[in-house]
Structure 1
Amino acid sequence: MLMLIISGCFFSVFGHEHHHHFYLPEVSEHKAKSFLHKRQATPNPRYCTEITYESWCESNIPYCQGQHEHTREQMCATSAPCVPGQHCLLTTPCPGHFTYACVDIDECASSPCQNGGTCHNGNNLYTCTCLPGWTGHDCEIDIDECASSPCMHGNDCIEDRINSYVCVCSERYEGVHCERDCRPGPADIMFLLDTSLSQLEVMNRSIEYMTRFVKQIPIGPNDFQVALVSYAFKPELVFNFTAHQSNTSVLDALSLIKSERGPTTTSDALTFVAQEILKPENGARLLPNISHYAVIVTNGLSTDRSEALQTAHFLKATDSRFKIFAVGVGDSIGHEELIQLPTDPSYTFAPDNDDLLMAMLKDAVDYGCTDCNSSSVTDVVILFDTSKATSPLTGNSLHSLKVVEKLIDSLNVTNTDIRTAMMTYGNGSQIKFDFHQQSIHDIKAKIYKVSIEDEKGNTSFALSSAQEKLFFEVYTGSRFASRKIVYLFSNGKWPMTEISEIKQEILKLHDVGISVNIMIPVRSFNAEMDNILDNASNVAFDPFRVYVIEDNASSVSLALKAAVRDTKYVECPPDIFKAKQ
């Protein structure tokens, strides 16, 4: 009715445009609220109690549930009670058919799980799934991650955060759990010493090399052990790994070694070592953390070269339980043999440095230790004699330049950290290219432009110039911390008056860390070779650094493989054993 009246009023007001406008009387706020109140009045409670209103109650169950708390309590108390963990509800609160039910109580409603744990409701119970780092019924206990002693070798554990710990490693150990033992060793080293007649004059040098090596490693049952096999016509075990358990004892035993008269049968010596190096009765420690090394000290001029190389290849292919190294000591060195005897060609070493020791120290620590590191940071100078009398071009056509080209290829300067420069010399010297990177094509083009000059050579002056103009001049691209090597190409026919001067200059270079390799390319061995080798051995710091390279592919390949070996090396801290106590 109200709506009709209002509509009519609107019609009469807006239906006669010529009448004066008038306004409806304003409805008071009290009357407006009263109207709303009457429309939202609470139903009569008897709708929920009298059968007459059963249908209304069924349609308004939530409302009626609130009207029967007394009835619910009475029914739950007098009927079969709910089991613990359940709650009694009046499920149908309508007078025609009052019923009740037992429902599970949600134990998780109170959020009992602490520290971010997830609650799972059960029958009269709850369980908590804890975040990592927490435990306990309510995730109230912080787990001690150090309780399981996760840090190895007795190193300390610190629980620095929830679900986290830190191992505080001593200087000796590295890794998340201090699992890497970075003290080199323990290892068993068996020296295989050539005591044949050809080594008679250099036996002291062999002993000096082994002495220097042993002085730099700790000897003992928990460190390095040293055994010695001598061989000439047949091998002999001089002392086993446990005969000498201190540095002093080993050094005393080395000083008593004598040379023998006989041929050099390296094949039998290698077979003997393979049979003896792993025998427990010889003191070998057959444990997973013990490395085993055989070090051949020889000149590489075996009487049974073919058989020796076959035996070496067989051992490399069939027995990986120990590694074979080779050190070239002698008045004359057979590089082709020395490079093939070890387990790997890179395991051939000069006796005038500690490269073998450094390589062995790196090999004898756990993988991933960072104290000893491989490097190829090397500056190489090719010093090529172009004087008429002593140039390797004389009588050799292009063989010597082809050897230089193959040397560049062997250095692999585009893919390593090795840099090369080239200087030619007669009476003076001329830089063909310095250490700054150039294309291989340009380098080789400059190599083949080298020719003989009608001048007398001055090799000692050229060596000095290489030091001053290339190695020690920053603008040439040289590097202060690099290893420095000179490859001196000559025919070796220096006058006797110059031998001493060249020798002195090479000694000076050695003193400032520059090694000089004497490279003598020859068409073939001839009657002059003995004199050439004598000259080269006399000027070289050590005969190991003399390379005679015949004009055939095999000789060139093996000689250069040996000649470039020390452009790749290992660097270790000088006090590594003190630091890694």
Structure 2
Amino acid sequence: MLTLILVCAFISLVFGHGDHQHSLYYPEVSEHEAKSFLHKRHAGHTALSSTASPDPAYCTQLLPGYETWCELHIPYCQEQQEYTREQRCATLTTPCAPGQFCMLTTPCPAHFAHACVDINECDSNPCQNGGTCHDGISKYTCTCLPGWTGTNCEIDIDECLSFPCMYGNDCIEDRINSYKCVCSERYEGVHCETDCRPGPVDVMFLVDTSWSQSEAMNRSIAYMTKFIKHVPIGSYDFQVSLVSFASKPELVFNFTAYRSNSSLLDAVSFIRNERGATKTSDALSFISQEILNPANGARLLSNISHYVVLLTDGLSTDRAQAIQRAQILKATYLGFKIFVVGVGEDIGHEELVQLSTDPSYTFAPDNDDLLFAMLKDATDYGCTDCNSSSVTDVVILFDTSKDSSPLVENSLHSLKVVEKLFDSFDTTNTNVSVAMMTYSNDTQIQFDFHQRSIPDTKAKLYTVSIEDKKGNTAFALSRLQDELFNRSSTGSRPNARKICYLFTNGNWAKTDILRIKQQIVNLHNDGISVNIMVPFEITDSGLHRTLENAKEAAFDPYRVYMIEDNGNSISMAVKSAARDTKYVECPPNIFDLKN
């Protein structure tokens, strides 16, 4: 009974596939889905005969059993489908709309159905260069890979059209979706956005030509000459202007007067002294109006730095007014910075550190610290050619002899200065290491460069006392390298800057001064600076002789620090003396590297 029911059901199903039943096989399906339909039904049917070979017409006729046979012989039947599609589609009463075509939507040969379906415009693979095609109604769109554009992604985008290279540098499209900036001269970075070659810079030298500078004028000229030889001069590099002052300031030449190093060197060599007082306040007021004046050739662009280099001895006739004017300029004129170089036969360090934009902008004339500090300041943030450093080995060389020790009448003034100087080094947060050596006719290391607690070090300072022996300063200076600076066991570092602070009252015999001078020159030639520190009380007798002796022995008068026993004098002098421990290092060919 069950078998009879199934057979009847099968006959009913097969013979119920008349044309009026075609709608039961909608919705429309794609060609791929139609073919897969045959595959899916294949496993559920039994072949009539693997050797049977019915007429091809059977694939389109409604005959019992042949539908199953055709589904088991898919390749054979598929050969008949195109003919059947053409026959069926020819019966459409309404042609397919634009963008559509007629196809068989039901693949079983015994009950084909047909309908109008959308054409897949992406079948022709219109998108080029890896673009992705998206089919639409009678259209398609291409999503292009980076670097391509156009309807079919056929156009190579020229990335240089957006002018990505800064400061006028050239752009080349070296590959798809890429470009390369060819940076010229000073510029670096993907877009030539970083200016790591120092400059452009406008430098205005403000030179003290007063009567007190008559013997030091050649040193001012030598300093400017050395500076100019180290920098490129031109409208896209460094421009130099010169202002002299004594009783009043005078513009000697503006920024555009000389466009080459050689012409500038000739120009500065002719500057001469004038009779008159040192009115620094008026000079500062004058340069504040002229350094940023386009009429003088100043370049007022965001990428151009402006500096004043003041060469003076710090002994202004109008000291109070000069310091006040400098403070006003710091607060109100942010467009330029004032660097100060101590040049003269006598140096007032307390004034110099207050005239500069910052105490760290006060410099000795016997090294290139100002030049390197300026080069670093004049490059873009993040450039690493010039780097700040504080890797310094410092020796406090303290005279304890009975004739030239600063410990006069058990005064603690000199030891207070040593303590303040030690504090200014900030050994906790910098790379400054301090050692101390005392001497009379022999030397004794109180402590070397190895790190120790600050309280212990300060306690050690105050154990120093005068010895009842004659001093030998030249001998003590000669022992510095062998006993401290050149001995690794003391903690000395071979690549550290080396500075000696010689504490003395300078009461040397004339026959000793020449030997002391020679030792200081020898140390300077070996890269060791010697600063002569002379703490004094205003009542000290023989102060003038002390100063003269110290200047005669020093490598340069700037290296002599006369420190009065009052808080302000100590503070200002120590700031100036400690500046050498923080410096900038630049490669000697810094300008050549960027060409």
CA distance in 2, matches of 1:237, 1:493: 44
User: In the alignment, does 2:254 pair up with 1:224?
Assistant: no
User: In the alignment, does 2:523 pair up with 1:554?
Assistant: no
Aligned position for 1:377: 391
Aligned position for 1:343: 357
Aligned counterparts, 1:240-279, within 5 A:
240-279=254-293
TM-score (norm 1): 0.84
- Alpha-carbon contact 2:246-2:275 (below 8 Å) kept: yes
CA distance in 2, matches of 1:496, 1:61: 122
Distance 1:124-1:167 versus aligned 2 partners, 3 A rule: same
Distance 1:101-1:531 versus aligned 2 partners, 3 A rule: same
- Alpha-carbon contact 1:396-1:523 (below 8 Å) kept: no
Shift of 1:322: 1.6
- Alpha-carbon contact 2:85-2:103 (below 8 Å) kept: no
CA distance in 2, matches of 1:354, 1:58: 96
Aligned counterparts, 1:317-396, within 5 A:
317-395=331-409
CA distance in 2, matches of 1:528, 1:43: 138
Aligned position for 2:17: 48
> Which of 150, 165, 183 in structure 2 is aligned with 1:136?
150
User: In the alignment, does 2:135 pair up with 1:121?
Assistant: yes
CA distance in 1, matches of 2:270, 2:297: 21
CA distance in 1, matches of 2:358, 2:12: 101
User: In the alignment, does 2:178 pair up with 1:209?
Assistant: no
SS at match of 1:229: strand
CA distance in 1, matches of 2:28, 2:230: 95
Distance 1:294-1:44 versus aligned 2 partners, 3 A rule: same
> Which of 474, 478, 483 in structure 2 is aligned with 1:460?
474
Shift of 1:344: 1.7
Distance 1:112-1:389 versus aligned 2 partners, 3 A rule: same
Distance 1:40-1:307 versus aligned 2 partners, 3 A rule: farther
SS at match of 1:395: helix
Shift of 1:328: 0.5
CA distances 1:143-194 after superposition (whole Å, capped 9, x unpaired): 4545655344665656566533444545633111223333333322221111
How many residue pairs align between the two structures? 541
Distance 1:396-1:124 versus aligned 2 partners, 3 A rule: farther
Aligned position for 2:459: 445
CA distance in 2, matches of 1:161, 1:250: 47
- Alpha-carbon contact 1:76-1:88 (below 8 Å) kept: no
SS at match of 1:389: coil
Letter aligned with residue 47 of structure 1: G
CA distance in 2, matches of 1:60, 1:214: 94
User: In the alignment, does 2:253 pair up with 1:239?
Assistant: yes
CA distance in 1, matches of 2:390, 2:303: 28
TM-score (norm 2): 0.82
CA distance in 1, matches of 2:19, 2:315: 123
Aligned position for 1:7: none
CA distance in 2, matches of 1:392, 1:235: 41
CA distance in 1, matches of 2:274, 2:538: 32
Aligned position for 1:517: 531
Distance 1:77-1:137 versus aligned 2 partners, 3 A rule: farther
Letter aligned with residue 49 of structure 1: G
CA distances 1:288-333 after superposition (whole Å, capped 9, x unpaired): 3332221111100111111111111111111112221111011111
Distance 1:525-1:82 versus aligned 2 partners, 3 A rule: farther
Identity of aligned residues (%): 65
- Alpha-carbon contact 1:182-1:365 (below 8 Å) kept: yes
523-532 or 560-569: bigger deviation? 523-532
140-149 or 67-76: bigger deviation? 67-76
CA distances 1:460-500 after superposition (whole Å, capped 9, x unpaired): 11112111111111222222222111111112222222111
Shift of 1:569: 1.5
Shift of 1:225: 2.4
Aligned position for 2:198: 184
Aligned position for 2:47: none
Letter aligned with residue 458 of structure 2: K
Aligned position for 2:558: 544
Distance 1:553-1:41 versus aligned 2 partners, 3 A rule: farther
394-403 or 138-147: bigger deviation? 138-147
CA distances 1:130-155 after superposition (whole Å, capped 9, x unpaired): 23233333335554545655344665
- Any stretches of 5+ residues in structure 2 without a counterpart? 38-59, 62-80
Aligned position for 2:583: 569
- Alpha-carbon contact 2:25-2:106 (below 8 Å) kept: no
CA distance in 2, matches of 1:2, 1:40: 11
Aligned position for 2:294: 280
Letter aligned with residue 287 of structure 2: V
CA distance in 2, matches of 1:303, 1:78: 113
CA distances 1:67-105 after superposition (whole Å, capped 9, x unpaired): 798699657754332322234578899xxxx99865433
Aligned position for 2:543: 529
- Alpha-carbon contact 2:25-2:113 (below 8 Å) kept: no
SS at match of 1:121: strand
SS at match of 2:330: helix
CA distances 1:426-481 after superposition (whole Å, capped 9, x unpaired): 22112222222223233223222222222222111111211111111122222222
Distance 1:63-1:395 versus aligned 2 partners, 3 A rule: closer
Q: C-alpha root-mean-square deviation of aligned residues, in Å?
A: 3.4
